[in-house]
Structure 1
Amino acid sequence: MLPTFRIIALLEGLSYILLLFIATPVKYLLDDPQYVKILGMPHGVLFMVYIVVAVFISTAMKWSNKTLFVVLIASVIPFGTFYVDKKYLKPTNA
Structure 2
Amino acid sequence: MDIKTASSLHRLRLVSAPEAVSFLLLLVCSVLKRTTDFNAVPVMGAVHGVLFILYVLFWLDAWNRTKWSFGTAALYFILSVLPFGGFYAERKLKREATDAVAAAQVSAEGVKA
Establish whether TM, by shorter chain, passes 0.5.
Answer: yes
1:67 and 1:4 mapped to 2: Cα distance?
A: 17
Partner of 1:39: 44
Q: CA deviation at 1:77?
A: 0.5
Gaps of at least 5 residues in structure 2 are 1-7, 101-113
Gaps of at least 5 residues in structure 1 are none
Greater C-alpha Rg = 2
Q: CA deviation at 1:31?
A: 3.0
1:11-90 equivalences under 5 Å are: 11-20=18-27, 22-33=28-39, 35-90=40-95
Q: TM-score, normalised by structure 1?
A: 0.85
Q: TM-score, normalised by structure 2?
A: 0.72
Q: CA deviation at 1:25?
A: 1.4
Contact 2:13–2:89 (Cα < 8 Å) also in 1: no
One-letter code aligned to 2:23: Y
Structure with bigger helix share is 2
